[in-house]
Every structure is written in C-alpha cells, then in structure tokens.
C-alpha cells in the first residue's frame, strides 16, 4: 500500500521518520558509551547485556498485547506516551547511579514497546515497501549520529551522560508533537468472529523467529564491536568509534538505497539480497580480523533491508485486522533478540574471549538465512 495524498498523512510520515531517527541516536550511542559508562558505574563488561535484558521486560509485555492496547487507546496516545517515557528512561540512565540506570532501562523498554510498536503498525498498514525502507533508513541515520556524538564527547574529555540527556530532550519534543500537531487514523476493526482473528500458523511462527535472529545479529555487532575492536583487535578509540559509525552507515545507506530500489525491485528480492550479503560479511568479520574496516560496514549494508522488508511482508501474511497483533509478536521477538543475544554473547566474550563475537554473528546470519528459506517455502504462492 502507498500513502494517500493528504496533509495529515504527510505529517504522520514526518513524525514517524523523525521518531525513528531520534530512537536510532540512542541505539547507536549505547554501545560506544558503554566502556566509559560501566567504568563510572563500576560494572563488569557483561553488564551491558544485563541492562538490555532489563529493558526487555516491559517491551515484551507491551508488544505481546500491542493489538489490544492500540484498539483501546489508539495511535495518538500510544505514540505520545512512548515518547515521554523515553525521556524519563534516558534521564534515569544518564543522570543516575547503577540502580537508577537499571530502572531507566526498564522504562526505556516500555517506551520502546509503545513508540516503536505503534509506528511499526501504522507503517505496515499505510506505507509501501520503499517507504518502509526509508523509515528504517531514518533510524539508521540516527545510529550513525549516535556513535559520533559519544565519540566526540569522549575525545574532547566530556561525559557520556551528555549524550543521553540530549536524546531525552529530543524525545520530549516528540511527545509534544504527537499530542499537538496531528491526527492519527483509526486502525482496522478486529471482528469478534473467529474468521477475523489472527490464527497461529507456521509462516507466522517462522516470521517471529526471523525477527529474533535478525536483531540478534544486528545488536550483537552494534553493541560489542567497539569493545572487540579496541580491546581485542588493537584499534584506537577514535578509529574504533569511526568503524562502528561506518557499520551504522552501512545500515543507513542500505535502507535509503532500498527505498529507491523498492520502486524497481520486489520486497522479497531486497530481502534475499540483504541476507546473502549479511552471511558473507559476517564470515569475513570472523575469518579475517584485519579486514574489520571493510567487513563491519559491509555487514551493516547487508543487514539494512532485512528488518523493513520482513515488516512489509507482514501485511501480506495476515489479515489487516490482525496486523497489530502480528507486528506486536514480531516486535516482541525482535526486542528479545536485541537483549538476550547481546547478553549471551557478552557472557561468552567475558568467559571465553573477545574472539567469540565473529562466529556468534555468523551463526545468527546463517540461522536467519535458513529460516528465510523455510519461510519462503511455507508462504502462500500469492505472497511470494
């Protein structure tokens, strides 16, 4: 589906794109800030994974019931509440001690469940495949800016806390915008009849698993590559920060290019291309550590079209009235992957050594490729 030419639709698109950009700034900044953050808060290396697990509690609960929540309070209230809770969570993480940072991570997870979930449901129903790529490209722009922001603060001898406060102020402005500047459409009604309900199916289950594997690869690379580059592969802080930014640059460039390519290529073709490049790049990052400056940006480029492509295909696999529930399940799975995978990988890095990051990312990529092949074979002919 494509946008309808209306001013309110344009305002909602602008809000969605801006929200994903701001969210991306924090997502990209956290991994680069972590070495300084953990030192100041007196935490071990693996505590980043635990912090991400804490953030998942509210995120999972909200997304498992996302469809009913949106039916109850609507898109406008959901997006505004998510933005304001982002502000609270980031201020707790950026200004407090470790216990407050843990509480902030829980609030951050709730906020992400609200804001990300609402925008993903809206975009799945109202955006074309190309527009979906551009939406997530805006998130990629944010993840590019985040590491640069933190690296700039660190090399000029400023605190990592400033970065979190800046993003907190931006999310507060998003909350005001959501309440004051636009109207949101009503979502498709979910009928009481059994035929209108979302039924469990193998394609739905495989899709949910695919989101877990994707975010596992993305977040393991994004959150741990800086630590591995600086402490395991001998890169200077500024150089490693630049390479992590180039990883997120690959995500950004790939999604922006995917937005243009979506006018000519089908979404399944974009998905296949991204997964193939991800397997190749993750293998290079593992087998050729000296090529990290090439393989890490290439990995971001390969990952780029996968998430928005899988989200776009959701509306082809479930009834319109079940999209909210399906997106909620998939978003919950992606949240689980983005927290559990880095946590497990972090424990592995601490227990067995930093070399483990390469094979871990490759394993996620290979598993995602396998699930995607199974999903393609299970999908109805008309949706291929």
The torsion of the CA quartet 275, 281, 283, 285, rounded to 10 degrees, works out to: -140
Q: What is the pTM of this model?
A: 0.76
Please give the pLDDT value at position 380.
54
The tokens for 41 are: 């808060």
Please give the pLDDT value at position 195.
43
Please give the pLDDT value at position 382.
40
State pLDDT tens for residues 256-270: 888 777 667 788 888
Please give the pLDDT value at position 20.
94
Residues of the chain with pLDDT under 70: 1-8, 181-182, 185-199, 262-263, 319-321, 378-384
State pLDDT tens for residues 84-112: 999 999 999 999 899 999 999 999 988 98
Please give the pLDDT value at position 379.
61
Nearest to 211 by CA among 107, 285, 116: 116
161-180 and 66-95 are packed helices; what angle lies between their axes, rounded to 10 degrees? 140
The tokens for 324 are: 């909210």
Please say whether the dihedral angle defined by the alpha carbons of residues 109, 115, 121 and 123, taken in this order, is positive or negative.
negative
Please give the pLDDT value at position 26.
93
Give, in order, the Cα–Cα distances in Å from 53 to each of 28, 47, 82, 358.
17, 10, 19, 22
DSSP state of 199: P
Q: What does the buried/exposed string (b/e) look like for 321-349 if buried means 16 or more CB atoms within 10 Å of the residue's CB?
A: bbbbbbbbbbbbbbbbbbbbbbbbbbebb
Q: Does an H or E element contain 159, and which?
A: none
Give, in order, the Cα–Cα distances in Å from 173 to each of 27, 121, 166, 180, 223.
18, 22, 11, 11, 27
Please give the pLDDT value at position 137.
86
In degrees, rounded to 5, the angle at the alpha carbon of residue 257 between the alpha carbons of residues 245 and 316 is 115
CATH architecture of 7-183+200-379: Up-down Bundle (1.20)
Please give the pLDDT value at position 177.
92
Domain locations in the chain as residue ranges: 7-183+200-379
Please give the pLDDT value at position 115.
92
């Amino acid at each position: 589906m494509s946008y309808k030419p209306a001013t309110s639709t344009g305002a909602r698109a602008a809000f969605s794109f801006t929200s994903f950009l701001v969210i991306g700034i924090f997502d990209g900044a956290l991994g680069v800030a972590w070495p300084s953050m953990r030192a100041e808060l007196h935490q071990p290396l693996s505590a980043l994974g635990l912090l991400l697990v804490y953030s998942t509690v509210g995120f999972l609960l909200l997304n498992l019931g996302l469809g009913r929540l949106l039916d109850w309070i609507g898109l406008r209230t959901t997006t505004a509440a998510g933005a304001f809770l982002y502000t609270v969570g980031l201020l707790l993480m950026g200004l407090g001690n470790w216990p407050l940072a843990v509480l902030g991570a829980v609030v951050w997870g709730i906020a992400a469940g609200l804001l990300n979930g609402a925008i993903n449901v809206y975009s799945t129903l109202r955006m074309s495949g190309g527009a979906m790529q551009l939406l997530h490209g805006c998130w990629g722009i944010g993840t590019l800016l985040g590491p640069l922001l933190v690296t700039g603060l660190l090399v000029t001898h400023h605190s990592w806390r400033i970065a979190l406060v800046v993003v907190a102020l931006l999310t507060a402005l998003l909350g005001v915008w959501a309440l004051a500047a636009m109207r949101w459409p009503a979502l498709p009604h979910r009928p009481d009849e059994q035929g209108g309900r979302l039924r469990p199916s193998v394609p739905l289950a495989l899709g949910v698993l695919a989101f877990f594997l994707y975010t596992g690869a993305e977040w393991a690379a994004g959150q741990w590559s800086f630590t591995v580059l600086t402490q395991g592969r001998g890169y200077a802080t500024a150089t490693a920060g630049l390479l992590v930014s180039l990883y997120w640059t690959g995500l950004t460039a790939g999604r922006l290019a995917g937005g243009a390519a979506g006018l000519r290529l089908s979404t399944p073709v974009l998905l296949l291309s991204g997964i193939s490049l991800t397997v190749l790049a993750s293998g290079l990052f593992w087998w050729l550590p000296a090529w990290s400056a090439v393989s890490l940006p290439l990995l971001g480029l390969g990952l780029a079209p996968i998430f928005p492509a899988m989200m776009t295909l959701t509306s082809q696999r479930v009834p319109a009235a079940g999209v909210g529930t399906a997106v909620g399940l998939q978003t919950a799975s992606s949240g689980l992957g983005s927290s559990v995978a880095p946590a497990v990988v972090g424990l592995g890095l601490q227990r067995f050594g930093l070399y483990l990051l390469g094979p871990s990312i490759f394993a996620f990529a290979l598993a995602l490729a396998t699930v995607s092949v199974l999903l393609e074979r299970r999908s109805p002919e008309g949706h291929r």
